[in-house]
Amino acid sequence: MNRLARLSLALAVLPLAACQTGGADRIASTPAPPAHAKNVILFIGDGMGISTITAARIYEGQKRGMTGEENSLSFEKFPQTALVKTYNTDAQVPDSAGTATAMNAGVKTRIGYIGVSEAATRGDCTTGKANPLPNTAEAAKRAGLEVGIVTTTRITHATPAAVYGHIVNRDWESDKDIPASERPEGCADLAQQLVAFPFDVVLGGGKAKFLGSAAGGERLDARTNLGHAWAERTGGTYVETAGALAAAPIGKPVLGIFSDSHMTYMLDRKPDTSEPTLTEMTAAALSRLGKGKGFYLMVEGGRIDHGHHAGQAGYALEEAVEFARAVQYAVDHTDPRETLILVTADHSHVLTIAGYPRRGNPILGLVTGGGEGAGTPDEPAIAGDGQPYTTLSYANGPGAVKGVRGAPDTSTKARQQALVPLPSETHGGEDVALFATGPGSEQVHGVIEQNLIATYIRKTLGLK
């Protein structure tokens, strides 16, 4: 074969060889099935957007005498991360009902819907009942697994309710909340749905939704006490204090409701409080779960969100620090070979970290530092209106300035200044972070739709 013939043959074979090599590469890069886990814990920091994580990281470090920026929260050390798109099917900026439904049902839905599809009509009981979305907790119970819920909000609030509930309006927490025109249609309120669900551990706030007026609650039947009725029917233990929770027998389901509405902010807790902390509730749940085939546990740091809505970043950051502490407890008290731990947020908030503060500047304080017009190391930066400004602020909310802007308050419980006046600061629409460790965590990477979190959990637990 002459030189020209050999060259022609080589050129003819080259595309085929390249194609074969590419095919081999594609086969080799096909991801392996996720590892199986006995247990899954889904931690949801309600409203814990990335700016909140950054600020909480600095806040926690500064509380421990560090400059703060170099600090890491417990879950930031997890090996796998992803960004999560949080929109609802009808909302660019979401609410907790639609986002929690996505994470539990594996399907996105409308703002304000819990465990029902977007095919339902808003506020219409009948269409809500006709369009339920099966959730992870139901699949877990069918497979013989245990189910637990821990939250610092009312346990009928949007995020915990999405674990067990199906309702077309997140505000229908008690029968009194359902409009009179819809009550004849037979929709069970979220408190009723909770006590009908075969859970193993539920801990949080919201007693008023379970009690009639005779006991200081709001249910239509003045004599109602759904907690006591649940205990009598199931043989479980109903408790209302941290002491009673500690004394509750192991091996029986427990329902703990520790406050009339949401549980007390960490910054407002008194030394003699009877309420357990989020970490203490997480510890109690883990001590009661895991004795059987496995479990699914959802833990919500719900009052991070409420601190932001009030425009009080100090409250939100203190709640985020406690949330990180609860995550660390779970890491330390579960078998990493058996337990997938996921940490994420349902949505973000419009908290900003801005100015040019020096390294180690108090995260709740005034901007000082000397960089880019940011004042001197000892004097605060002055804005164009002649006033200093804080590192943290909000795009909207109750802290909006009216008239001439005064010097901002920098105390821990202060309300940060905001731009647009609103009675309650709003959620933010940017992506949130997802952190993962344990078997199945290799699924977590890239930029994902929020409903994939439910898919990860079900695949890892082997649920159908």
CATH value at residue 157: 3.40.720.10
Which one-letter DSSP state was computed for residue 410? -
If asked whether residues 341 and 407 sit together in one domain, one would say no
Q: At what angle do helices 96-105 and 452-461 cross, to 10 degrees?
A: 30
- The per-residue pLDDT of the chain, averaged, comes to 92
252 pLDDT more than 80: yes
How many structural domains are present in the chain? 2
If asked whether residues 237 and 385 sit together in one domain, one would say no
If asked whether residues 175 and 244 sit together in one domain, one would say yes
Answer yes or no: is 2 within a domain. no
Range of the domain at 401: 359-425
If asked whether residues 316 and 168 sit together in one domain, one would say yes
Cα three-residue angle 36-279-87, rounded to 5 degrees: 65
CB 326 within 8 A of CB 334: no
If asked whether residues 298 and 163 sit together in one domain, one would say yes
Answer yes or no: is 419 within a domain. yes
If asked whether residues 81 and 199 sit together in one domain, one would say yes
If asked whether residues 310 and 363 sit together in one domain, one would say no
Answer yes or no: is 188 within a domain. yes
Answer yes or no: is 6 within a domain. no
Q: What does each C-alpha distance from 377 to 38, 68, 299, 393 come to in angstroms?
A: 53, 17, 41, 21
416 pLDDT more than 90: yes
16 pLDDT more than 90: no
pLDDT level of residue 3 (50, 70, 90 thresholds):
very low
pTM here? 0.92
**What value does the mean pLDDT take over residues 58-79?**
98
Q: Show Cβ contacts of residue 16 under 8 Å, excluding neighbours closer than 6 positions.
A: none
If asked whether residues 137 and 197 sit together in one domain, one would say yes
pLDDT of residue 31: 57
**What value does the mean pLDDT take over residues 143-163?**
98
Handedness of CA 267, 271, 277, 279 (dihedral sign): positive
DSSP states of 289-301 as a string? SSSSS-EEEEEEE
Answer yes or no: is 71 within a domain. yes
Q: Which residues are catalytic?
A: 96
Which range, of 161-165, 382-386, 414-418, averages the lowest pLDDT?
Answer: 382-386
pLDDT of residue 464: 82
pLDDT of residue 372: 66
If asked whether residues 303 and 416 sit together in one domain, one would say no
If asked whether residues 287 and 341 sit together in one domain, one would say yes
CB 321 within 8 A of CB 60: yes
